[in-house]
Structure 1
């Protein structure tokens, strides 16, 4: 048996994450991927990028310090290979490339700037296919702070993928036009028309938290009815009450509402009644592709 360590850094619009996996290789057996640790730091780059068009010096310092810490943690853990990917907030910032260069020089971390299509492709390389029944259709939705990636599976294969500039931080800041919602509705209705037994597979920190709050067991889906009721309950509370009474983290208590809105709207337009939450996302996909590339 051989145990190897791989890591993924996901630089999103709402938070930055370091995920490490133990990759277990054993002759004659399927390679196993087991999560070792997940560290999340709430550096909300999207608040800068989507409002003023560039990342502030304060957040540049925070992201550099975060990357320095991640580098030390990966060294201590004995990580063999890593990949760091930045999405919409860094991509849309006027000084995004300068920030990436500073991170490389000061923290020693090389960052890949990926677009929505690349993000969707990486996510699709996760264990999604193991969760998918060939006789059903699934709309996979990964809600981020700056954008949301949609992938439609039919017959066990990807039919179509698309990224929309519809993220939780963008919605909080009132930066999403009605036209974007309309385009999403048209896309979902058009591509799910005529499909039977369609379910949603949701990913992202917010839907993971909602699933945990529901008390459901792992693998048990959320119902549209429950999510709608929970959305109404959350919106009836003040931000302060969501933090103090529900125990939500301050950087989760605001974005969880627009995230629920995205899932509810998508479920309504696709005629979906169930939302599965397998707790996989971009970071998991990065590790899978990293390992696959390393083996080829």
Structure 2
């Protein structure tokens, strides 16, 4: 067996995350990804960016502190390589270059700001989902983040269309969404539903992953749209403290889960889809798989 260690950092709008995986390759060509460490720090960059257009000093300091800690963990685990990526909030922050240079000087980590399309492609590839698609079916891949929602249409075994919408959980909570963007979102979904007739949603993001757990689903067991809607109605009837107490959610998750489920229920309604598959893979998982393939390590 060969074992290598890789790391990934995901700087999102609602939180920043570090994932370190052991990647084990066996003589029979099997490859297994085993989680060595996962750290999530609730630095909500989107609260600054979506209201003020830039990242304030307090959150910049929190980001730098967290990244210094991540750098220490990457060294301690002896990772062969890592990649750090920032998404929606950093894409839109007017001072993103200054912030990322500050992060580099404090932590030694160089961060790449990636497009919404690259973000979606990386997550989708994380679990080898492309290889598992039925070429006779159409799918909607939906990733709901803090600042944006990425949607990709897969049909006939390949990507047919993709779009990024400035509709994310933190942006919604901040009251920073544009009614015109909601209209664009709805009209685009209706067009895609008419053109490709998708029958399955592939859901991505921390909130749909949490819903999968709350509904006590087994690995690869799908969520029915009716179950999703019922949970959404239940959660939205509660305040944040009640969600924390009744569903054992941390405060950050209790705040963002309702707007996330609102987006997912909109997709199921507009496209008349009754099934949501949840592979429970994220951007960090996809980054690690990319790194491993990049090295193309032979068995020895």
How much does 1:96 deviate?
0.9
1:90-239 equivalence runs, <5 A: 90-126=90-126, 127-196=128-197, 198-239=199-240
Partner of 1:79: 79
Whether 2:244 is the aligned partner of 1:243: answer yes
- 1:120·1:163 contact (CA, 8 Å) conserved in 2? no
- 1:71·1:107 contact (CA, 8 Å) conserved in 2? yes
Whole-Å separation in 1 of the counterparts to 2:220 and 2:84:
29
Q: Relative to 1, partners in 2 of residues 1:36 and 1:136: Cα closer, same or farther, differing over 3 Å?
A: farther
TM-score (norm 2): 0.94
Whether 2:54 is the aligned partner of 1:42: answer no
Ranges in structure 2 where 5+ consecutive residues have no aligned partner: none
Report the 3-state secondary structure (helix = DSSP H, G, I; strand = E; otherwise coil) of the residue aligned with 2:53. Answer: coil
Whole-Å separation in 2 of the counterparts to 1:64 and 1:95:
15
How much does 1:196 deviate?
4.6
Partner of 2:66: 66
How much does 1:180 deviate?
1.0
- 2:19·2:35 contact (CA, 8 Å) conserved in 1? yes
- 2:67·2:103 contact (CA, 8 Å) conserved in 1? yes
Partner of 2:270: 269
- 1:203·1:279 contact (CA, 8 Å) conserved in 2? yes
Q: Which moved more, 1:190-199 or 1:221-230?
A: 190-199
Whether 2:62 is the aligned partner of 1:56: answer no
Whole-Å separation in 2 of the counterparts to 1:86 and 1:218:
28
How much does 1:194 deviate?
5.0
- 1:142·1:281 contact (CA, 8 Å) conserved in 2? no
Q: Which moved more, 1:195-204 or 1:9-18?
A: 195-204
Partner of 2:17: 17
How much does 1:31 deviate?
3.0
Q: Across the two proteins, how many residue pairs are aligned to each other?
A: 296
How much does 1:217 deviate?
1.4
TM-score (norm 1): 0.95
Report the 3-state secondary structure (helix = DSSP H, G, I; strand = E; otherwise coil) of the residue aligned with 1:109. Answer: coil
How much does 1:125 deviate?
2.5
| CA deviation profile, 1:62-92 (whole Å, cap 9, x unmatched) | 1111011111111111111000000111121
Partner of 2:284: 283
- 2:198·2:271 contact (CA, 8 Å) conserved in 1? no
| CA deviation profile, 1:212-242 (whole Å, cap 9, x unmatched) | 1111212111111111111111111111111
Whole-Å separation in 2 of the counterparts to 1:158 and 1:139:
10
- 1:89·1:146 contact (CA, 8 Å) conserved in 2? yes
- CA-based RMSD of the aligned residues comes to 1.5
- 2:18·2:38 contact (CA, 8 Å) conserved in 1? yes
Q: Which moved more, 1:269-278 or 1:35-44?
A: 35-44
Whole-Å separation in 2 of the counterparts to 1:32 and 1:238:
41
Whether 2:13 is the aligned partner of 1:33: answer no
| CA deviation profile, 1:249-272 (whole Å, cap 9, x unmatched) | 100111100000110001111110
Q: Which moved more, 1:180-189 or 1:97-106?
A: 180-189
Q: Which moved more, 1:64-73 or 1:183-192?
A: 183-192
Whole-Å separation in 2 of the counterparts to 1:197 and 1:174:
31
